[in-house]
Structure 1
Amino acid sequence: MFYYKAKLVKIGELLYKEGLVDARAGNLSVRLRDRAIITRTGSHLGNLSFEDLIELQLYQKHTLEDRASSEWIVHREIYLQTSHKAVVHAHPLYTVFLSNYYSRIEPKDSEGKAILGAVEVIPDYPSGSEELAGAVAQGLKTSKILVVKNHGVFSAAQTLTQAYSLISVLERSCRYLWNINLIERGTTL
C-alpha cells in the first residue's frame, strides 16, 4: 500500500511541476483489485500527503466517496469497463485550448506521432457526471488517452507513470502544434 501511495504523491508532484495541473485541479488514482486509491477532492497535487489519498471499493458505495475527487465516478467507470490499472486526469493549458478547434488532435512532432497518434476530443459533459464517466470509459476501451473539450485530459494505463507520461507528451505536442499554427498564420511568437 505504501508503494502505491508514494507513487501517487510523486506523480502528483510531477504533474504540478510540469504545469499540467494548477493548485486545485486534476486527480489521479490507482486500482488494486476490487479497490482504488484516489486523490481527495480539492487536494493540491503538487503537495499531496497520504491523508489526501482515499481508498474506495469499486463495487459498492462508501461513505468516504464524498471526500474523494469529484471525478471519482469517472475513474470508477474506467476501472469497471477497462483493464487499465491507473488513471490520471489533468488540465494542460495548450491541450485544452486546442480541444476547441479539433475533434482529433494529431501531433506533428515525431515523438507525439510515434507515442500518441491521433487523440480523440469528446464533447464537454458536466464534470463528475454519469455522462462524462460513460463517454470517457468508452473512449478509453480502445485508447490510453483522450481529451474532453474545454475540460482536460484523461489518461489510463497499467501504471501511473505511463498514464502521466502520455499527458506530458500530449501537452508538448499541443504546444508545438499551437506554435506551428501561429507561424503558418504569419503571427510572430
Structure 2
Amino acid sequence: MSDPRTDLAAAGARLAALGLSPGSSGNLSVRTGDRVLITPTGADLAAIDPDGLSELGLDGVHLAGPRPSKEFPLHSAFYRRDATTRAVVHLHARHATAVSCLPPWSPRSAVPPLTPYYVMRVGQTPLLPYAPPGDAGQAEDMARLPFPFRAALLQNHGPVLAGTTMARAVEAAVELEEVAALLLALGERPARLLTPEEAGQLARTYDSPWDDHR
C-alpha cells in the first residue's frame, strides 16, 4: 500500500519537472481518513519533505506540522464537496493561468470541449471570480456551486483540481494545461469543438462532469 506522504512528494516533483509549478508556487494535499496533509506555506514542490507536511482537519483547523499553505480553504472546499476526493492540486501553470485571465467559454466551463481527453480527464471547469489568494469566501462560493466539477480556474490566478487519487489529480492538471495551451495557440481562429452529443457520450462513458452547454 502506497504512503500518501511519499505520493504527495512524488507528485510535487513531477509537476515541478514539467514546469507547472514555478518557484515556490502551487500547493498539494491528500486526504487520509478525517485529516488532510497539505504542503506548508512557501513550499517548493520540487523538494517536498514527506515528513514536513502540515496536518489539518476536514474543517481546515490546523492540527500539526508547519503553517499550511494559505490556499488551504480551496482544498477543504473540494473535500467537503465530494467525499470521494482524496487529493487536490493547485498550480500557477502558465497556460491555464493565461486562460483564467480570459472571458469564460460558458457559465459552467472556462474551457470549451476542444479535445476528447479534456472532457474525459478534466470535465467542465468553471471560472471563479477573482479574489486574493487564500480568500475563504472564494472557497465557500466554490463549495456551493450547484453543478458537478472536479476542476476550476481561479480568475487571474490559476487552476485547482481534485481527484479520487493523487495520480488522477495530477493527470487532470497536466491535461488542463495542455488544452489551455491549445486554446491559446488557436487564438481568434474558429475552432471545431466537440459537439454536445460527442462530449456527452465521453462524459457518460468516463464518468466525467460535463453538462449540456448548448
Shorter-chain TM-score tier: 0.7 to 0.9
Q: Name the one with the larger strand percent.
A: 1
Q: TM-score, normalised by structure 1?
A: 0.86
Q: Name the Cα RMSD after superposition.
A: 2.4
Hey, what does 1:88 align to over in structure 2? 89
Q: In structure 2, what is the equivalent of residue 175 of structure 1?
A: 181
The structure with the greater share of residues assigned to helix is: 1
Write the distance in 2 (CA, Å) between the matches of 1:82 and 1:145. 12
Q: 1:153 Cα shift? A: 0.8
Aligned residue for 2:170?
Answer: 164
Tell me what 2:58 maps to: 58
Tell me: CA distance 1:81–1:120, structure 2 relative to 1, closer, same or farther (3 Å): closer
63-72 or 80-89, which moves further after superposition?
A: 63-72
How much identity, in percent, do the aligned residues show?
28
CA contact (8 A) 2:118 2:175 kept: yes
Contact 1:34 1:57 in 2 (8 A): yes
Once the two structures are superposed, what CA deviation does each residue of 1:8-35 show, in whole Å capped at 9, x if it has no partner?
Answer: 0011011111111112111011111211
Alpha-carbon offset, residue 102 of structure 1? 2.7
Shift of residue 131, structure 1, vs aligned partner: 1.1
Q: Secondary structure at the match of 1:172?
A: helix
For residues 75 and 140 of structure 1, the distance between their equivalents in structure 2, rounded to whole angstroms, comes to 18
Deviates more, 1:98-107 or 1:37-46: 98-107
Deviations 1:121-180 (CA, angstroms, capped at 9, x unpaired): 111112111112112333496111111111111111111111111111011011111111
Q: Which runs of 5+ in 2 are unaligned?
A: 105-109, 191-214
**1:88–1:180 distance in 2 versus 1, CA, 3 Å:** same
The 3 A distance-change label for structure 1 pair 122 and 60 is closer
Contact 1:13 1:45 survives alignment (8 Å): yes
Q: Does the CA-based 8 Å contact 2:57-2:63 persist in structure 1?
A: no
The two structures have a TM-score, normalised by structure 2, of 0.77
Aligned to 2:37: 37
Q: Which one of the candidate residues 114, 125, 132 is aligned to 1:126?
A: 132
Q: In the superposition, relative to structure 1, how do residues 173 and 35 fare at CA in structure 2: closer, same or farther (>3 Å)?
A: same
1:102 is matched by which residue type in structure 2?
Answer: P
Q: Given residue 111 of structure 2, which amino acid in structure 1 is its aligned partner?
A: I
**Structure 1 residues 75 and 60, CA gap change in structure 2 (3 angstroms):** closer
